[in-house]
Structure 1
């Protein structure tokens, strides 16, 4: 191993979460405890784009971690207009954007509409998805921006009441699941005041067996190639990286898959606008939850630029997002993931 750290990154990428743009005056979150800056979120995105464009080392791609527009846009034509407004900001540069789907995407669009939209950033030229079975509508795919590195985009609302037709089997199964824990008339209200059971709300979702099996196969291939894998999702999956009310329904199943592979180095998510971070020292996996643009005051910001080296990722934060050095576990330790 080199004594001196590598100075030139192999590649860089940008990351931003929960823009939730709407052409509205400031408002508040569901519990009316946090201010939301709907209109100025577009300006903060513009500042992030300017920063990435003016950087001496241009990012290879941008990760947009979901909730690109707010649910208040829902209405005939309004959702499309709001989405076009935000996507115009992203298209101000030629850098490709990988879009994650969050709950607000499904407040505005059906799953079938999202699959046909510009928010479907699946890199397959034939437009197919990389789900586990032919014809799958699971929005999950992987891409490799540099040899030895793979990124996996997950569909955290594959199992959900959102985006599913109420007459479908998927909706019925999701309703049965959430009703095991949440008997409130308003399913956006957590079933309990504390504990991990808070996650069983309508604004969360989970990962189907098909998607988990597909992820398992992707990670097995990455293990064999000794690749470094970063997984991205709108919903966090580690209880120590977020508030319980923001966790994926079956976070434990996804964590079990991560823990059975040697290739995963980082899991990035949004959804919790206050952000969070936890290093699973047993596995050497960094769980990073990005602060949301929507609750960031206009005089601040919330985006990051990540420089990737052979032994680490270095996050340069802006505004509410702090700088972090995310060290990779040694390859020699990969079999048992201890660091």
Structure 2
């Protein structure tokens, strides 16, 4: 089920590029949340541009960003931006430093109102750092060119035999933008975590295993989205489609550090298992490589972060009827998943 990649003669059904956790900001390098890993904030945009250029050269059909394209530090004022709001400062970084990486290499952000015929779209998964920087309405306009829809989950069909489902793992979270919803989310996880999660303290003290997921930088898939997901899986099953799931937070224990799990990962995973049509789940968020094939033969992959990789971190996935070949770039290795 998991082997090193080797060249095979047949042509893939479709191919796509993947990046995760770029977290670009125009600030000096610094350490991560645990003060153990160097984060290269400015250099992340350069690594992103290199990834997009590689995807263009490989002639992928589309590319995927698994969340956290921008870092929350993009709200930090400088002498030139001190009179702007936090969101305006982040917007400057987004438009001037990030969007050009895609556009100069022939990619554009997905627009649900535009046909994808002849276009190379970027499909964006929502991460916590996007929500640190932007309201949901403004984020929808930036990611999907659609300011009238605050829903950040959808599906598309890259080939008649495959369906890709993009989930919003911050559907219910402390970051969802409404004061009542935010308060409800804080109250919900305060009952799960003994630490003061509203303060700038170590939220993991005395918390072990999957209980470490109850922190503000995670979230959950809401009830309405779960119903939609189950309907999508039923349709895929009926149409004999294999399904690839994209989510920022992780949906299976053991793939990555438990502090990266969605709050209701177990409920979502149960839904993924039910129709027996999901073949792979791709996540960002943890910043480290992680892999697990669960008891329903679903491949779960935690994609490494560009932000913390000196040589870049990106991959091209060539999707066949019976396998997915991952062609690694930068610090990502190459390997094959049998389906």
TM-score normalised by structure 2 residue count:
0.86
**Match of 1:91?**
103
Matched, 1:119 2:120: no
Deviations 1:11-68 (CA, angstroms, capped at 9, x unpaired) = 100000000001112111122111100010011111111211222xx11100100000
Cα distance change on mapping 1:191 and 1:139 into 2, 3 Å: farther
Cα distance change on mapping 1:11 and 1:128 into 2, 3 Å: farther
- Separation in 2 of the partners of 1:218 and 1:81? 36
**Match of 1:70?**
71
- Separation in 1 of the partners of 2:254 and 2:33? 23
Matched, 1:262 2:273: no
Cα distance change on mapping 1:128 and 1:111 into 2, 3 Å: closer
Say whether the 8 Å CA contact 1:181–1:191 is kept in structure 2.
no
Matched, 1:227 2:249: no
SS in 2 for 1:143: strand
Return the offset for 1:161: 0.5
Say whether the 8 Å CA contact 2:314–2:329 is kept in structure 1.
yes
Say whether the 8 Å CA contact 2:190–2:197 is kept in structure 1.
no
- Match for residue 106 of structure 1 among 131, 143, 149: 131
Return the offset for 1:8: 1.0
RMSD after superposition = 1.8
**Match of 1:24?**
27
**Match of 1:43?**
46
- Separation in 2 of the partners of 1:212 and 1:320? 34
Deviations 1:277-322 (CA, angstroms, capped at 9, x unpaired) = 1011x2110001100011111xx11000000111111111112212
Which fold has the larger relative contact order, with Cα–Cα distance below 8 Å and residues 6 or more apart in sequence? 2
TM-score normalised by structure 1 residue count:
0.86
Matched, 1:319 2:316: no
Return the offset for 1:184: 2.1
Cα distance change on mapping 1:146 and 1:128 into 2, 3 Å: farther
SS in 1 for 2:67: coil
Return the offset for 1:119: 1.1
**Which moved further from structure 2: 36-45 or 318-327?**
318-327
Return the offset for 1:233: 0.6
Gaps of at least 5 residues in structure 2 are: 1-7, 76-85, 108-119
**Match of 2:78?**
none
- Separation in 2 of the partners of 1:249 and 1:191? 18
**Match of 2:82?**
none
Gaps of at least 5 residues in structure 1 are: 130-136, 329-339
Q: How does 1:64-213 map to 2 (within 5 A)?
A: 64-74=65-75, 75=86, 77-84=88-95, 85-92=97-104, 93-94=106-107, 95-115=120-140, 117-120=141-144, 137-166=150-179, 168=180, 170-187=181-198, 189-190=203-204, 192-213=206-227
**Which moved further from structure 2: 285-294 or 23-32?**
23-32
- Separation in 1 of the partners of 2:257 and 2:231? 30
- Separation in 1 of the partners of 2:206 and 2:334? 34
**Which moved further from structure 2: 156-165 or 96-105?**
156-165
**Match of 2:296?**
283
Cα distance change on mapping 1:321 and 1:128 into 2, 3 Å: same
- Match for residue 295 of structure 1 among 287, 308, 316: 308
SS in 1 for 2:173: coil
